[in-house]
C-alpha cells in the first residue's frame, strides 16, 4: 500500500451505489496530496497564510506517531497507512476557534475532511503539543464508516463513536453513542505510547530533562496532590501552567471495566493488558460485539448501552462509574 493511501471507508445507508462510491472517493481525495483541493478557495487562502510551518520536532512527532499506530494496525491484522503532514494544521488560536465549536478543546479531528487542527496558542510546551498530535493522529486512523441517504451524507461510525442513522434520527432525534468510551480509548493509547515519541527527537528529550528536574518534579507532586491524581497524569508543567493527559474520568471508567472483565475471564486472558487491547483493536477495526458480550456478562443486561451514554463530560463519566460499581 502506498504510504499515504487511506483504506476506503465503509458506506452504509439507503443511498445509491453511485452515491456511496462518491463518498468513498471524497474521503480518499481529502487525504494526502489532494487535501487542500477540498477547501474552498477563500478559506484555503486564509489557512495557507495563517497556519504555522511545522518545526522539525513536529515533523518527527508525526513520523513517530504514524510508526506507533502502524505497529498497532499490524498487530491487529489491519492495513497500515500514514497520516501525511499536510492533513495536520497548526493554527493561531483565533483561527482555531472559528473552526472548532467547543471552547474547551485545544485540538480537533474532522473525519469527513480528513483534517486535524491544533490550537498553537494553547499547545505551547513541545511535550504537550507532541502528545496532542499523537492523540489526533490516533483519532484520524480509526475505523470509519459513513452513511449515504437521499441527497446527503454524514459520518456514521468513527472509532467506537456511533451517530444516529437517518432513520433513527427521524424516529427519536439525533444522538451520539460511545463518544466518552471512544475518547477514553484514544487517550489511553496516547498515555501509554507517548514516551515512544521521544525516540530520536532531540527537542522532546531536552524538554523531558527539564520536566524531570527536582524543581519541576516537586511542583508536579504538589499539583497532583491538589488535583487528586497521580503524578504520571501530568504531561508537563512550566510557566504557562500544567497540562494533563485528557479524559481522566473516562479513562477511569475504561480501566475499571478492563479490571472487572479480566477478573471474570482469567481463563481467556493472560493479563489486563490483553483485555485493554480488545478495546484498542475495536478502535481500529470497529468490531464491538465481542466487547459488548463480555461487558453484559460482567455487568448485566443493558450495561453496554449505559456505557454508550457516557460522553466527554466529567459528570457523565462519574455517573456511569457509579452505575457500574452498583452492578
Based on the fold, state whether residues 133 and 240 are members of the same structural domain. Answer: no
Residue 318 lies in a domain: no
Read off the DSSP letter of residue 228. T
Report how many domains make up the chain: 2
Based on the fold, state whether residues 99 and 225 are members of the same structural domain. Answer: no
pLDDT at 32 over 80: no
Residue 286 lies in a domain: no
Q: Which three cell numbers stand for residue 22?
A: 462518491
Smallest Cα–Cα separation from 280: which of 112, 74, 118, 132?
74
Residue 65 lies in a domain: yes
Q: Which three cell numbers stand for residue 146?
A: 459513513
Based on the fold, state whether residues 18 and 113 are members of the same structural domain. Answer: yes
Residue 208: which domain range? 195-244
pTM attached to this predicted model: 0.95
Residue 273 lies in a domain: no
Close Cβ partners of 139 (under 8 Å, ≥ 6 residues apart): 109, 116, 158, 159, 186
Q: What angle do CA 103, 106, 107 make, to 5 degrees?
A: 115
How does residue 1 score in pLDDT terms, banded at 50, 70 and 90? low
Asked if 145 contacts 129 with a C-beta cutoff of 8 angstroms, the reply is no
pLDDT at 3 over 80: no
Residue 261 lies in a domain: no
Based on the fold, state whether residues 157 and 66 are members of the same structural domain. Answer: yes
What number is the average pLDDT over the span 121-135?
A: 98
Domain boundary among 244, 260, 279: 244
Residue matched to cell numbers 443511498: 15
How does residue 166 score in pLDDT terms, banded at 50, 70 and 90? confident
Q: Which three cell numbers stand for residue 231?
A: 503524578
Based on the fold, state whether residues 28 and 124 are members of the same structural domain. Answer: yes
Close Cβ partners of 121 (under 8 Å, ≥ 6 residues apart): 92, 93, 96
Residue matched to cell numbers 522539525: 56
Based on the fold, state whether residues 46 and 149 are members of the same structural domain. Answer: yes
Amino acid at each position: 500500500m502506498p504510504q499515504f493511501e487511506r483504506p476506503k471507508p465503509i458506506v452504509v445507508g439507503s443511498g445509491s451505489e453511485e452515491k456511496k462510491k462518491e463518498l468513498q472517493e471524497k474521503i480518499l481525495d481529502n487525504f494526502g496530496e489532494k487535501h487542500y483541493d477540498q477547501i474552498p478557495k477563500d478559506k484555503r487562502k486564509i489557512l495557507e497564510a495563517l497556519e504555522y510551518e511545522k518545526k522539525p520536532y513536529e515533523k518527527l512527532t508525526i513520523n513517530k506517531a504514524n510508526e506507533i499506530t502502524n505497529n498497532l494496525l499490524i498487530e491487529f491484522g489491519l492495513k497500515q497507512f500514514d497520516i501525511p503532514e499536510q492533513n495536520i494544521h497548526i493554527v493561531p488560536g483565533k483561527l482555531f476557534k472559528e473552526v472548532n465549536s467547543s471552547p474547551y478543546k485545544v485540538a480537533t479531528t474532522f473525519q469527513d475532511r480528513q483534517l486535524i487542527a491544533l490550537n498553537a496558542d494553547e499547545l505551547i510546551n513541545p511535550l504537550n503539543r507532541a502528545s496532542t498530535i499523537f492523540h489526533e493522529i490516533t483519532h484520524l486512523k480509526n475505523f470509519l464508516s459513513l452513511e449515504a441517504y437521499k441527497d446527503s451524507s454524514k459520518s456514521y461510525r468513527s472509532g467506537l463513536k456511533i451517530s444516529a442513522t437517518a432513520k433513527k434520527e427521524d424516529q427519536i432525534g439525533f444522538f451520539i453513542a460511545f463518544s466518552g468510551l471512544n475518547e477514553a480509548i484514544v487517550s489511553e493509547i496516547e498515555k501509554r505510547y507517548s514516551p515512544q515519541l521521544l525516540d530520536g527527537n532531540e527537542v522532546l528529550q531536552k524538554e523531558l530533562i527539564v520536566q524531570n528536574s527536582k524543581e519541576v518534579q516537586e511542583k508536579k507532586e504538589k499539583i497532583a496532590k491538589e488535583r487528586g491524581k497521580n503524578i504520571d497524569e501530568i504531561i508537563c508543567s512550566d510557566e504557562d501552567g500544567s497540562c494533563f493527559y485528557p479524559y481522566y474520568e473516562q479513562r477511569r471508567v475504561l480501566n475499571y471495566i478492563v479490571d472487572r472483565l479480566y477478573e471474570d475471564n482469567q481463563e481467556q486472558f493472560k493479563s489486563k493488558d490483553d483485555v485493554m487491547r480488545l478495546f484498542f483493536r475495536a478502535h481500529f477495526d470497529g468490531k464491538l460485539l465481542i466487547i459488548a458480550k463480555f461487558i453484559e456478562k460482567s455487568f448485566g443486561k443493558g450495561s453496554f448501552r449505559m456505557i454508550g451514554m457516557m460522553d466527554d463530560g466529567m459528570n457523565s463519566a462519574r455517573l456511569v462509574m457509579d452505575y457500574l460499581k452498583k452492578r
